[in-house]
Amino acid sequence: MLGSPISPLNCLISLCVCLSSVVAGEVKLERFFPPVVTLGSDSKLVAEGDLSAWPMDFECDRAEVRITASPDEKNTLTFTTDANAAPGVAWIRVNSQNAISAWTPVLMTSAAVTVESEPNNEIGNAGSLDLPTVVAGRLAKNGDVDSYRIKVTDGQTLVVAAVANEILASPMDAVLQIVDLDGNVLAQSDDDCGLDPLIVHHVGQDTELVIRIFAFPETPNSTIALAGSSSFVYAINVTTGPIVDHGVAASDGRAEVYGWNLPEKVETHVSPATTVSPPTLFVPETLGWTWDRSLVGGPRVCESSNAAAQQVNALPATLFGHISEQAELDRFIVPVVAQKKYWAQVRSYQYGFPLDSHLKIIDRASSEILASNEDLERGRYDAATTFEAKTDGFVEIHVSDRVDGHGDRHFYYLTVEQYQPVFELSVTSDRFVLTKEKPLEIPVTVKRLPGFSGVIEISVEGLPEFVTSEQVKSEPKGGTSKSVQIKLSTTEPIVNVLDFRIIGRQSGDETPTGDQQPVHEKALFRLRPSLPISALSLTGQ
């Protein structure tokens, strides 16, 4: 499955309106409705939030997106893409001369979009859907239930997948149900992709069914009742045909995708990463898409299709697979050098998969267990461990589910590489304001991972000369060990948005041991729990 390249995407989009319009003060773009558009069409969207000045300029991370603001309808945009553009997410923000908003998502799909029509609380009021489709809706008030009616045929596999909390940041814990026309519940899902539900239902007869969605608050409160508000927006992928759910790009440009109703051979395309999103994997004219989460270089190897161990001949490597069957154990063989320390880490639960992973490292020559681990951190369910071989040769890595969970979405990435102690830097926002009259202090959280005890030099990169800052140091002990303050000042007014990054480097006074490389990391802001970004922005107001 060869990946088809798509040109890099990073573009400033100016609305086709009076460009002299600017935003006064803070701008709050909260969401778009509907939150999903069909590729190759002109879609009218409403921008919701505190957008008192209109029109205004917008920025998008996707070059193939064209946005036009209505001069007559406030907060109304026309969103246009080419039919052959990649599905996925377009991240959009207000970008005026003196203010910016948060990056806000618009989902893009190859399927037709159906916008809900009220009333649809009851089965008798359920709107009919032609499949495949993506439903765009909103649980607008407490107690709201949205219902949709579909026709299915014996032997079909029906997939119903909601997108709400994970990408749209809707503060809702949604529930999906499939019921018959008498209201009997045939299938239900509460949490599958994080808090977003997904149902895969095997149809046993020609019939009509009703899909229902309702929600509770993302953060539980003392009221046990269905919730709703203007912020409870959602999209639901509904199909009995092929749909992509997850996958991985191989190091040679190929890609593997997984889902339901997919043909044996599919032409998988890879859309490059943007300033916000990772690379996107998709199949043309097929519902669904997925981000590629591979993090290290080197080979990318899938689990063996049988019980045999899959061998890798070089590190670092990304290994991936599924725990599909009960009591399944996936085995990988990797090369090691005596007295060197290595790092193996599973990434699954953090990306919305249900796997509760367990790792075991076994020396191939002696059968000695070198390491075993369940969770990297309490409550995160992704296993990770260091290990050290006593002799040159190979070790065998076992991946399993700690509680014997299994299924189509028990998918994992396993990275294996030589261990090097590192650190992490994080910030609580990606947007900051700096004026001549008021210097800026940016708090940076420092997290030293096990084994790293060095001094970290933290500085700002990418700003013009009239914006100054001093490098700060995080010492391994004391007041700067867990956080520092980056101070910025300017000698000129900032009239345009300035992009920058905060970089941490292992102190130049310290020499890495052996063949380790000096450590440097970018400060990250979590735009979504599973989507960290390093691009930060500075404005003058």
Cis bond upstream, residue 217 (ω within 30): no
How large is the average pLDDT for residues 116-133?
Answer: 97
For Cα atoms 464, 469, 470, give the angle at the middle one, nearest 5 degrees. 140
Confidence class of residue 26 from pLDDT cuts 50, 70 and 90? low
CB–CB of 143/226 below 8 Å?
Answer: yes
Does residue 89 carry a pLDDT above 60?
yes
The tokens describing 457, both together, are 């030099």
pTM, 2 dp: 0.90
Percentage of the residues of the chain whose pLDDT score is greater than 90 = 77
Domain ranges of the chain: 11-109, 112-239, 300-418, 423-539
Mean pLDDT of the chain: 90
Task: Give the CA dihedral 67, 70, 74, 76, nearest 10 degrees.
Answer: -40
Question: Residue 51 has what pLDDT?
Answer: 84
How large is the average pLDDT for residues 282-296?
Answer: 90
d(CA 293, CA 319): 12
Question: Residue 98 has what pLDDT?
Answer: 73
Confidence class of residue 16 from pLDDT cuts 50, 70 and 90? very low
CATH number assigned to the domain covering 112-239: 2.60.120.380
CA-to-CA separations, 374 to 229, 381, 389, 464, in angstroms, rounded: 39, 7, 20, 46
Q: What is the pLDDT of residues 312-359, one digit of tens each?
A: 999 999 999 999 999 999 999 999 999 999 999 999 999 999 999 999
How large is the average pLDDT for residues 132-139?
Answer: 99
Question: Residue 260 has what pLDDT?
Answer: 98
Confidence class of residue 14 from pLDDT cuts 50, 70 and 90? very low
> In CATH, which of 3.90.1200.10, 3.40.50.1000, 2.60.120.380, 3.40.50.620 is domain 300-418?
2.60.120.380
Does residue 25 carry a pLDDT above 60?
no
Instruction: Collect all residues with Cβ–Cβ distance below 8 Å to 20 and sequence separation of at least 6.
Output: none
Question: Residue 297 has what pLDDT?
Answer: 66
Percentage of the residues of the chain whose pLDDT score is greater than 70 = 90
d(CA 85, CA 541): 35
More confident residue, 258 or 251: 258
Q: What is the pLDDT of residues 362-392, one digit of tens each?
A: 999 999 999 998 766 666 689 999 999 889 9
Question: CATH homologous superfamily of domain 11-109?
Answer: Immunoglobulins (2.60.40.10)
Q: What is the pLDDT of residues 261-281, one digit of tens each?
A: 999 999 999 999 999 999 999
CA-to-CA separations, 518 to 82, 452, 491, 507, in angstroms, rounded: 44, 12, 34, 9
Question: Residue 6 has what pLDDT?
Answer: 36
Q: What is the pLDDT of residues 429-487, one digit of tens each?
A: 999 999 999 999 999 999 998 888 999 999 999 999 999 999 999 999 999 999 999 99
Question: Residue 464 has what pLDDT?
Answer: 96
Which fold does the domain 423-539 belong to in CATH? Immunoglobulin-like (2.60.40)
Domain 11-109 shares a fold with domain 423-539 = yes
N residues, the chain = 541
Does residue 23 carry a pLDDT above 50?
no
Question: Residue 72 has what pLDDT?
Answer: 87
| Residue for token pair 């909601």 | 162
Does residue 5 carry a pLDDT above 50?
no
3 state SS for 174-203: EEEEEECCCCCEEEEECCCECCECEEEEEC
